């Protein structure tokens, strides 16, 4: 068995080496694919806080992903059409600056997570799964009919948003931005897991009554985790929108919520790099199997089943053995 920290370093090295190789042999599309994987990884790292650390199975994380996406779409759309978002009581203009968009995406998805979390955390177990799914569906149907921002057609942003000092249209530079954010997010999550907040969250999942008797409010801890989780997934949504230069209600679909869960579980629930490995493997499979057969979803389904039924702790669990984080 390989030590998990060694394996994590190996994955980080891959994330640097593959795009570098792709640039060397002039395969820019591989960089685009890697960017997609890294963005999905950020979304899944976000979900993993709720899912892995908090034990909150959210089938509605696409809501935050979509909100992040629409934050980018709406801001850039107004900048593109030179029409301010608000003119009263004060003027708010659109923007094409990535840092501003990210800030808006994080704030908007945190607020949404706060409201959804406040309501959903009144329930638990299957009820929690279902109510998060229902919130996701509400956003989905709202955006389909939201004609001001394209409804089901979505919004096309013709030029990728800018980041000071970088050419974001260059695939490798945009990849570098996404990779840095992933690294930052992973660092935050690992610090969070070791902090007293992380320990309390872990305890709230495993022995809630003891946490309560220790004078802590489990619901409040879980709510905080849910908000952080939603904020990170929202940031990933903004990046995803910039990758595609396009947003649409498909970002809110419940299948996408399912896929984000898939990333986490393939890699290993509750493991720091689980979501990263899961997203990498998923994007690779999508690309390879999708090229082999029209019916590739069948193979994907079979593979998922095998992982759920026979592996403990996802792919990282298979490589590195079991560890106390999950069980």
Partner 1 sequence: MTFILVIEQILNGLQFGIMLFLMAAGLTLIFGVMGLINLAHGSLYMVGAFAAAAVAGLTGSFGLSLIAALAASALAGVIVETVVIRRLYNKDHLDQVLATFALILIFSEGTRWVFGSFPLFLEIPEYLSGPVSLPGGIQYPLYRLALIFAGLLVAAGLMLLIAKTRIGIQIRAGENDREMIAALGVDINKLYTLIFALGAALAGLAGALVGAIQSVQMGMGEPVLILAFVVIVIGGIGSIKGALIGSILVGLTDTLGSVFLPQLFGLFMDTAAATNIGSSLASMAIYILMGVVLIWRPTGLFGARG
Partner 2 sequence: MNKQIQALTAVMLAATAFGFGTVQAETKVGMITTLSGGGAGLGIDVRDGFMLAIKQSGRDDVEVVIEDDQRKPDIAVQLADKMIQSEKVDVLTGIIWSNLAMAVIPSTTAQGKFYLSPNAGPSALAGKGCHPNYFNVAWQNDNLHEAAGAYANSAGYKNSFILAPNYPAGKDALTGYKRFFKGELAGELYTKLGQNDYAAEIAQIRASGADSVFFFLPAGMGIAFLKQYKDSGVDIPVVGPAFSFDQGILQAVGDAALGVVNTSQWNKDIDNATNKAFVESFQAEYDRLPSLYASQGFDTANLLLSAIDKADVKDADAFRAALKSADFASTRGEFKFGNNHHPVQTIYAREVVKEGDVYTNKLLSVALENHADAYAVECGM
Residue numbers of the site for partner 2 (CB under 8 A)?
27-30, 32-33, 36, 96, 141, 144-145, 147, 150-154, 156, 158-160, 162, 167, 169, 171, 240, 244-246, 248, 250-251, 290, 294-297
Least CB distance to partner 2 at residue 203 (A) = 38
* b/e burial code for range 199-221 (CB count within 10 A of at least 16 → b): ebbbbbbeebeebeeeebebbeb
The entry of partner 2, partner 1, none near residue 153 (CB within 5 to 8 angstroms by kind) is partner 2
Considering Cα of 297, then 302, then 305, then 307, what sign does the dihedral take? negative
38 binds partner 1 (CB under 8 A): no
The entry of partner 2, partner 1, none near residue 102 (CB within 5 to 8 angstroms by kind) is none
The entry of partner 1, partner 2, none near residue 80 (CB within 5 to 8 angstroms by kind) is none
3-state class of 4 per DSSP? Answer: helix
The entry of partner 2, partner 1, none near residue 131 (CB within 5 to 8 angstroms by kind) is partner 1
Residues 171, 22 contacting (CB under 8 angstroms): no
Q: What angle do CA 17, 257, 131 make, to 5 degrees?
A: 150
The entry of partner 2, partner 1, none near residue 298 (CB within 5 to 8 angstroms by kind) is partner 1
Count CA within 13 A, CB hemisphere, residue 69.
Answer: 30
**Closer of 87 and 152 to partner 2 (Cβ):** 152
Least CB distance to partner 2 at residue 181 (A) = 19
**Closer of 36 and 205 to partner 2 (Cβ):** 36
Residues 65, 233 contacting (CB under 8 angstroms): yes
Residues 46, 231 contacting (CB under 8 angstroms): yes
Give the interface with partner 1 as residue ranges (CB under 8 A): 51, 57, 59, 119, 122-127, 129-131, 133-135, 137-138, 141-142, 144-147, 254, 258, 261-262, 265, 269, 295-298, 300-305, 308-309
């Amino acid at each position: 068995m390989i030590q998990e920290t060694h394996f994590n370093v190996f994955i980080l090295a891959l994330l640097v080496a593959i795009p570098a190789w792709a640039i060397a042999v002039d395969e820019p599309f591989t960089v685009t694919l890697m960017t997609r994987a890294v963005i999905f990884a950020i979304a899944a790292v976000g979900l993993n806080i709720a899912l892995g650390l908090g034990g909150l199975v959210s089938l509605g994380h696409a809501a935050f992903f979509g909100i992040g996406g629409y934050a980018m779409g709406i801001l850039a759309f107004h900048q593109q059409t030179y029409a301010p978002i608000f003119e009263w009581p004060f003027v708010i203009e659109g923007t094409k600056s990535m840092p501003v968009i990210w800030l808006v995406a994080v704030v908007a998805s945190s607020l949404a997570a706060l409201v959804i979390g406040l309501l959903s955390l009144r329930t638990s177990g299957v009820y929690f799964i279902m109510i998060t799914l229902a919130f996701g569906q509400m956003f989905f149907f709202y955006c389909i009919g939201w004609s001001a921002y394209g409804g089901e057609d979505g919004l096309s942003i013709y030029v990728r948003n800018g980041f000071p000092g970088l050419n974001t249209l260059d695939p490798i530079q945009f990849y570098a931005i996404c990779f840095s954010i992933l690294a930052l997010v992973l660092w935050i999550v690992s610090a969070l897991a070791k902090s007293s907040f992380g320990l309390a969250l872990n305890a709230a999942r495993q022995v809630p009554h003891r946490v309560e008797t220790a004078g802590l409010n489990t619901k409040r801890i879980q709510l905080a985790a849910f908000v952080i989780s939603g904020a990170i997934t929202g940031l990933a949504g903004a990046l995803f929108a910039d990758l595609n230069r396009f947003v649409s209600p498909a970002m809110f679909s419940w299948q996408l919520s399912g896929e984000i869960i898939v990333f986490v579980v393939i890699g290993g629930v509750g493991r720091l790099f689980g979501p990263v490995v899961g997203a990498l493997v998923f994007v690779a499979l999508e690309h390879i199997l999708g090229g082999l057969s029209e019916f590739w979803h069948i193979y994907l389904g079979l593979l998922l089943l095998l992982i759920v039924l026979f592996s403990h702790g996802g792919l990282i669990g298979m490589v590195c053995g079991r560890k106390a984080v999950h069980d």
